[in-house]
């Protein structure tokens, strides 16, 4: 990039960061309780929560990762989009309202606290296990986001990675510290709109470019590689099933088990807002993933395979080539800010697990609302700094743990949430077995050749569900057992 373009992007990124910080400061005056800080006091509109949920769920992974993945795989990359889209649609249509009702019914702010209240016989153990699972995985995820921000600062502005990580950390901490969930949602909303503009507008310009330059998508796909023009990657038999499950299996992590996403469902205030949010989220997902897939496909026609040292730079390259400089600057600033918005949400989830689930509910330190609020804010600062240290000194560890995160958290807690919602015989022993088996088998699965055969995103979900079912049947909760005995006596 020329110096002029870099300067434009830098100026627009600085303005973007100032806007984010201003939003955080403005909403900080509206935060008075722990509920305000962690769930926005359930006062936010459904459409804003939907935009935030989508920005948090996808962010830079969709903009950079998935577009590069399609460029490297061709048509078979569609199955990732289909799996995720179906997962998002299912969650908003069938789980969002249940989350909202259950959260209000039991007056809880987090997933660990909800599971603990629902299964009171082992409440403290459930809080500890779920909180450790969430905080452990997502703390490293925060570090990975900050490391990614540092690398993008380096590649975009030629700024040393250390400085980029520090700048990103400051923005993340300030936004989450000032107004918590409220400021994160509103900044996510802005970011989500920018993402959608990029993902819808870029493939349209790419198609115009391809048509103007007499390029052929079909021919380019055929010459890019032997499997690029096949919806199943040129595979046959059992290998098709492996491909399908490995790509489609992202679906299972969306079934209520990602706490940074489910928090948006828990923050809904009524059914009207839930319906509004579902419409926005579903339309956003279809447009965004359809656009991201087309970006990868059109890139195959525009660029030769092997022309990128890092395929995750395809989207920024196309933006600079096809958009006017000032628009490109806004969109690239948005790509950088996407990482920051995701780190915000994950940092809040880690904070809520420690302050609300462990300190407030398990240790019962009898703190006032004001003390809890400041404890949460100080925790944001502490965990933000820890995330920064992880980003600076443990890159290989970050990569390893992030590869576990979707299975370790999402595909472990998803069966726990589904069975809690829809199976009356699910027990406290079943919840504990679900969490422990999901954690242990995720680590075992990814540490062995099994991961190359069937992804842990698939195996963890069903292993955790199986253990939950078996232990619930063997060790039912007392009230369930008493109801069964009474029913048998009546018969």
pLDDT at 490: 39
- pLDDT at 323 exceeding the cut of 50: yes
Give the tens place of pLDDT for each residue, 326-350: 888 788 777 777 777 778 888 888 8
Query: What DSSP element (H or E) covers 106?
Result: helix 96-106
What is the dotted CATH code of the domain comprising 3-396?
1.20.1730.10
Per-residue model confidence (pLDDT) at position 46 = 93
- As a whole number of angstroms, the distance between CA 188 and CA 110 comes to 20
Could you give the CA distance from residue 356 to residue 120 in angstroms, rounded to a whole number? 17
For residue 140, pLDDT over 50 is answered with: yes
Max CA distance (Å), the chain: 83
Task: Give the whole-angstrom CA distance, residue 284 versus residue 177.
Answer: 28
Distance CA 178, CA 183 (A): 8
At 310, give phi and psi (nearest 5°): -135, 110
Cα 202 to the chain's mean position, in Å?
A: 23
**pLDDT attached to residue 483:** 46
Residue 176's pLDDT band, with cuts at 50, 70 and 90, is: confident
Instruction: Using the predicted structure, report yes or no on whether residue 488 has a pLDDT greater than 50.
Output: no
Nearest-10 Cα torsion for 116, 264, 150, 136: 10
Q: How confident is the model at residue 245 (pLDDT cuts 50, 70, 90)?
A: low
- 243 or 89: which carries more pLDDT confidence? 89
CB atoms within 10 A of CB 475: 14
What's the rounded mean pLDDT across residues 443-470? 86
pLDDT digits (tens, 9 = 90+) for 376-434: 888 888 888 988 888 887 655 544 556 667 788 888 999 999 999 999 999 999 999 99
Convert the pLDDT of each residue in 297-317 to its tens digit: 999 999 888 877 777 778 888
CA angle 339, 341, 346 (to 5 degrees): 95
Is the per-residue pLDDT at 456 higher than 90? Answer: no
For the cut 70, the answer to whether the pLDDT of residue 471 exceeds it is: yes
The pTM score is 0.84
- Most confident region among 195-199, 402-406, 455-459 by mean pLDDT: 195-199
Measured CA distances, 265 to 54, 410, 437 (Å): 12, 15, 26
Residue 255 has pLDDT above 90, yes or no: no
**pLDDT score of 2:** 66
pLDDT at residue 181 is higher than 70: yes
Note the pLDDT of residue 484.
41
């Amino acid at each position: 990039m020329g110096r002029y373009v870099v300067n434009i992007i830098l100026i627009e990124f600085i303005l973007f960061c100032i806007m984010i910080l201003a939003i955080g400061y403005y909403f900080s005056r509206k935060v008075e309780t722990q509920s305000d800080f962690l769930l926005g006091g359930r006062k936010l509109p459904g459409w804003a929560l939907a935009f935030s949920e989508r920005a948090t769920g996808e962010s830079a992974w969709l903009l950079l990762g998935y577009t590069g993945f399609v460029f490297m795989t061709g048509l078979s990359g569609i199955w990732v989009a289909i799996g995720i889209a179906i997962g998002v649609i299912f969650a908003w249509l069938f789980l969002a309202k249940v989350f909202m009702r259950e959260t209000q019914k039991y007056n809880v702010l987090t997933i660990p606290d909800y599971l603990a209240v629902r299964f009171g016989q082992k409440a403290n153990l459930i809080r500890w296990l779920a909180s450790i699972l969430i905080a452990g995985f997502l703390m490293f995820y925060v570090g990975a986001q900050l490391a990614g921000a540092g690398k993008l600062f380096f590649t975009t502005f030629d700024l040393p990675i250390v400085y980029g990580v520090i700048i990103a950390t400051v923005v993340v901490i300030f936004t989450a510290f000032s107004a918590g969930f409220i400021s994160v949602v509103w900044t996510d909303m802005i970011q989500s709109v920018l993402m959608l503009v990029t993902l819808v507008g870029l493939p349209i310009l790419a198609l115009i470019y391809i048509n103007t330059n007499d390029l052929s998508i079909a021919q380019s796909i055929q010459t890019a590689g032997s499997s690029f023009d096949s919806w199943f990657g040129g595979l046959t038999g059992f290998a098709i099933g492996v491909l399908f499950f490995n790509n489609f299996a992202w679906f299972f992590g969306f079934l209520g088990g990602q706490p940074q996403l489910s928090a948006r469902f828990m923050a809904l205030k009524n059914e009207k807002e839930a319906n509004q949010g579902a419409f926005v989220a579903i339309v956003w997902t279809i447009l965004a993933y359809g656009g991201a897939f087309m970006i990868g496909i059109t890139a195959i026609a525009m660029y030769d395979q092997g022309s990128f040292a890092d395929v995750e730079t395809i989207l920024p390259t196309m933006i600079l080539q096809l958009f006017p400089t000032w628009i490109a600057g806004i969109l690239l600033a948005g790509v950088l800010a996407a990482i920051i918005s995701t780190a915000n949400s994950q940092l809040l989830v880690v904070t809520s697990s420690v302050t609300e689930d462990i300190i407030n509910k398990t240790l019962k330190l009898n703190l006032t609302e004001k003390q809890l609020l400041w404890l949460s804010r100080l925790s944001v600062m502490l965990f933000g700094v820890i995330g920064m240290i992880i980003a600076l000194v443990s890159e290989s560890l970050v990569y390893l743990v992030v590869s576990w995160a979707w299975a370790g958290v999402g595909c472990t807690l998803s069966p726990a949430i589904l069975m809690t919602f829809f199976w009356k015989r699910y027990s406290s022993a079943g919840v504990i077995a679900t969490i422990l088996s999901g954690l242990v088998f995720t680590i075992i699965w990814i540490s062995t050749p099994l991961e190359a055969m069937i992804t842990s995103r698939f195996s963890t979900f069903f292993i955790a569900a199986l253990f939950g079912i078996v232990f619930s049947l063997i060790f039912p909760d007392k009230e369930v057992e008493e109801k069964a005995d009474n029913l048998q006596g009546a018969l």
